[in-house]
Amino acid sequence: MIPKLLFGRTGHKSTRTLFGAAALWNVTQDEADRTLDMLLAYGVNHIDTAASYGDAELRIGPWMKRYRDQFFLATKTEERTYQTAKEELYRSLDKLQTDHVDLWQMHLLVEPDEWETAMGPGGALEAFLEAREQGLTRFLGVTGHGVNVAEMHLKSLEWFDFDSVLLPYNPTMMQNPRYADGFERLTAVCQQRNVAIQTIKSLARGPWGDKPQTQTTWYEPFTTQAEIDLAVHWVLSRPGVFLNTVGDTTLLPKVLDAADRWDTAVSQAEIETRMRQLAMEPLFT
């Protein structure tokens, strides 16, 4: 089974590999149900979705009727004001068929002007605090993409004591000195405050460019089991971080299989040496 780790200060032991529900963006309910069965088979107990993930919340809803107590459930909003964020949370709860989520996150909070709106008077943070007080969510987090995301997460943590962060983590991103420095500084703060660190884009080979898009991910992913093993094991070899699975249901079985077979004796440096033989380029520059 996939190993578990305390998800920051929440008290919940989440599987190191979390289900990234962007994979359910545009699937049938039958396919979504088969995906849930796969999560149960591997013991995955943490679902991360978002209001902006197409039909994902709608597809997860029927599961929650039967399995709500088996999953730590997280969703996200890109709304930046109190009223619009509050309204979207109620829509998310309705779609998810639950009376609360365990984690509500400010999604893609990387632009300075949006940050000022969200954290200022009448901003989304007020809706987040109210939702926590009312029991509509238990914990609060921030997410983002881009080279400046770690710096923006640090700014968010200076302003408010969020329970989790989410950002990209793969070898090409960590070869960028600015990104690597920000990631390491953010990690240090999160470890000090017991803030959960979720990582994304582990399977990113690079942008699609002119290539035909053969998977549902917006970037070109690794697709063979050998490649996916390296990518997944590279992330899991860093203590204390969680890996959010790929946004493609056809690749999900390979990711879960890789996580299930992770060998703790192999160092991240050893894995990265092998990954240098793969064709990779950064998604964000």
Query: How do residues 169-227 score in pLDDT, each as one tens digit?
Result: 999 999 999 999 999 999 999 999 999 999 999 999 999 988 888 888 988 999 999 99
Domains of the chain: 4-275 (3.20.20.100)
User: What pLDDT is recorded for position 23?
Assistant: 96
What's the pLDDT tens digit per position in 35-91?
Answer: 999 999 999 999 999 999 999 999 999 999 899 999 999 999 999 999 999 999 999
Whole-model pTM?
0.96
User: What pLDDT is recorded for position 53?
Assistant: 97
User: What pLDDT is recorded for position 72?
Assistant: 98
Beta strands 72-77 and 46-48 are parallel
Work out the angle between the directed axes of helices 149-159 and 177-193 (0-180°, nearest 10). 30
Classify 204 as helix, strand or coil.
strand
* Torsion 38-41-42-43 (CA) sign: positive
User: What pLDDT is recorded for position 34?
Assistant: 95
CA contacts within 13 A on the Cβ side of 171? 22
Closest CA to 142 of 81, 77, 91: 77
